[in-house]
Chains A and B, each alone.
Chain A
Amino acid sequence: MWLRLLGAFLVVVSCTGLGMGAAARLKERRRLLETMKRMVSHLKGEILYANAALPAALSRTGKRGEGVLAEFFCAVADCLESGAGETFAQVWSREAKRVLRRCPLSAAGREALLSFGKNLGYLDREMQEKTIQFYLEELDLEIARLRGEEPEKSRLFFSMGILSGLFLTVILL
């Protein structure tokens, strides 16, 4: 009997944990996008104000940032500086795909990041400004959407976790 109760307790706790994990990922996704926004704004300053070339701008932005995105920016800058002869779009998409494996980004977020890299560096400064502005707006929209959904979804994931745990217990008992 005690063993059964212990089992049931563990099932409920782990399911609740799963639910909380999902809610935490949601929060992490928003935080990541906010960091991205900060870094892209910084990149914009580097490009438009300091007129820095992409490797320098990315490496300085990467050094000021933190986490996986900072690593990503620095990795792209290093690849460009090493002068391996690859195009910027190639380097960006390769490194982005690598970093995305460790990021809780949505499919749309991934798409936006990849297409941002495809257009960066193309034509003149005005074009850079537009490309960056466009990506920043996309990020803003996504952040606002996540902020709106977050409390509701977090509660949902949390209660789903508990309920599914209870449900499983009932079935198993």
Chain B
Amino acid sequence: MEKQELLFQIFPRHIREVLKTLWLEPEGLEEIRLRAGAPLFYFYKNREYAADGIRISRGDVEETLQCAVRYSLYAYEEELRQGFLTVQGGHRIGVAGRVVAENGRVRTITPVSSLNVRFSHEIAGCADGVLDLVAGGAEEIKNTLIISPPRCGKTTLLRDLVRQLSNGSRTRRGRRVGLVDERSEIAACFQGVPQNDVGIRTDVLDACPKAEGLMMLIRSMAPEIVAADEIGSTRDLEALRFAMHCGCRILATVHGESLEDVRRKPVLSAMLRGAMFERCLVLGRDRGPGTLLGVFDGKGERMDLREKGERLCG
């Protein structure tokens, strides 16, 4: 099936028809936003556009959500509580609307009035530029933290790092990688099988809470490298420490504008102070998603190895 058609399977038929008339290249499409009573907005090649000829109704939003989860919203209850869900293909849908709370805890969101569909793009080879920084010698792999604001390509970069380290190359032997994919974004598992290429020696724990998942993988799959997306809680930190004591190398990502920004966050600053991470890669979107803003070593010193502002996946 055509790639565009696969992307648009998230939407019900009439919205799909409208999207088809826009002639978008699937690779350039970053986001589509639906809000009840507003036009359909889409982010395409780093710019926002509004689609002509359609105004989104509340029914459209509801129908899109149902279509995206294949009429099985019950199976996404836990995810819905966090405000987003990952659907087939690894695309992530952010959800907003009226929250139904019970004892101060979010029970569900209904009715849903806004959706933000963020498309996941697998870019094989986007980690080429930083691979030598992460895997220094033939044997040595650095504990690496990727820092970036949302929509700047940190998951894409992590996925490709995992793939390349797992596959290995002529000069570098392939490693056993344990991947905890809590939000099903990295490997985009569908019924447990990765849809994205995450390498031939990668074991994926899909939809598993990170801290538990890291422990489980270390006990069961004896990985040489563990990878996780969007770390941040104290439990994550403990699990990563445990992994390190077991001799695993770590690849992780975190939300943040810069190294200073991450240092201000209590849990993460503890990690950085302890020099857990030997490499910090900071991403931005100055020249589109995946712009490398800086590389720092374990002491937080900037490493001037590359031209600043280079785009990894451009």
Asked whether, in the complex, the Cβ of B71 is within 8 Å of the Cβ of A121, the reply is yes
Residues of B at the A interface (CB closer than 8 Å) are: 9, 11-13, 16, 63, 66-67, 69-75, 77, 108, 191
Asked whether, in the complex, the Cβ of A124 is within 8 Å of the Cβ of B70, the reply is no
Closest A residue to B68 by CB, please name it.
A83
Closest A residue to B5 by CB, please name it.
A83
Q: Give the docked Cα–Cα distance between A128 and B72 (Å).
A: 10
Asked whether, in the complex, the Cβ of B74 is within 8 Å of the Cβ of A128, the reply is yes
Closest A residue to B207 by CB, please name it.
A51
Asked whether, in the complex, the Cβ of A123 is within 8 Å of the Cβ of B70, the reply is no
Asked whether, in the complex, the Cβ of A124 is within 8 Å of the Cβ of B67, the reply is no
A51 CB → nearest B CB, Å: 5
Contact of A85 among B13, B72, B75, B191 (CB under 8 A): B13
Q: Given contacts A83-B9, A85-B16, A124-B108, are A55 and B73 in contact (CB under 8 A)?
A: no
Closest A residue to B80 by CB, please name it.
A124
Asked whether, in the complex, the Cβ of A125 is within 8 Å of the Cβ of B12, the reply is no
Q: Give the docked Cα–Cα distance between A52 and B11 (Å).
A: 21
Q: Give the docked Cα–Cα distance between A80 and B9 (Å).
A: 11
Asked whether, in the complex, the Cβ of A121 is within 8 Å of the Cβ of B13, the reply is no
Asked whether, in the complex, the Cβ of A121 is within 8 Å of the Cβ of B73, the reply is yes
| A149 lies within 8 A of chain B by Cβ | no
Proximity bits, A72-84, B CB within 8 Å = 1, else 0: 0000000011011
A-B contact count (CB 8 A): 53
Q: Give the docked Cα–Cα distance between A126 and B63 (Å).
A: 21
Asked whether, in the complex, the Cβ of B77 is within 8 Å of the Cβ of A124, the reply is yes
Chain B residues near A88: list those with CB within 8 A: 66, 70-71
Closest B residue to A50 by CB, please name it.
B75
Q: Give the docked Cα–Cα distance between A81 and B1 (Å).
A: 13
Contact of A56 among B63, B71, B108, B191 (CB under 8 A): B191
Contact of B71 among A47, A52, A87, A124 (CB under 8 A): A87
Chain A residues near B9: list those with CB within 8 A: 83, 85
Chain A residues near B11: list those with CB within 8 A: 85
Closest B residue to A80 by CB, please name it.
B70
Q: Given contacts A83-B9, A85-B11, are A125 and B16 in contact (CB under 8 A)?
A: no
Of the four ranges (under 10, 10 to 19, 20 to 34, 35 or more), the interface on chain A belongs to: 20 to 34
Contact of A123 among B69, B74, B191 (CB under 8 A): B74
| A99 lies within 8 A of chain B by Cβ | no
Q: Given contacts A85-B12, A85-B13, A85-B16, are A125 and B77 in contact (CB under 8 A)?
A: yes
Asked whether, in the complex, the Cβ of B69 is within 8 Å of the Cβ of A53, the reply is yes
Contact of B67 among A51, A52, A55, A85 (CB under 8 A): A85
| A22 lies within 8 A of chain B by Cβ | no
Chain B residues near A86: list those with CB within 8 A: 13
| A127 lies within 8 A of chain B by Cβ | yes
| A8 lies within 8 A of chain B by Cβ | no
Contact of B72 among A83, A84, A87, A121 (CB under 8 A): A121
| A32 lies within 8 A of chain B by Cβ | no
8 nearest A-B pairs in the assembled complex, by CB-CB distance:
A83-B9, A88-B71, A53-B72, A85-B13, A121-B71, A54-B72, A53-B75, A125-B74
A93 CB → nearest B CB, Å: 13
Chain B residues near A80: list those with CB within 8 A: 70-71
Chain B residues near A51: list those with CB within 8 A: 75
Q: Given contacts A56-B191, A124-B108, are A81 and B70 in contact (CB under 8 A)?
A: yes
Q: Give the docked Cα–Cα distance between A56 and B69 (Å).
A: 12
Q: Give the docked Cα–Cα distance between A25 and B71 (Å).
A: 35
Asked whether, in the complex, the Cβ of A52 is within 8 Å of the Cβ of B70, the reply is no
Chain A residues near B66: list those with CB within 8 A: 87-88, 121
Q: Give the docked Cα–Cα distance between A47 and B74 (Å).
A: 9
Asked whether, in the complex, the Cβ of B74 is within 8 Å of the Cβ of A121, the reply is yes
Chain A residues near B77: list those with CB within 8 A: 124-125
Closest B residue to A121 by CB, please name it.
B71
Contact of B70 among A47, A53, A127, A128 (CB under 8 A): A53
A36 CB → nearest B CB, Å: 21
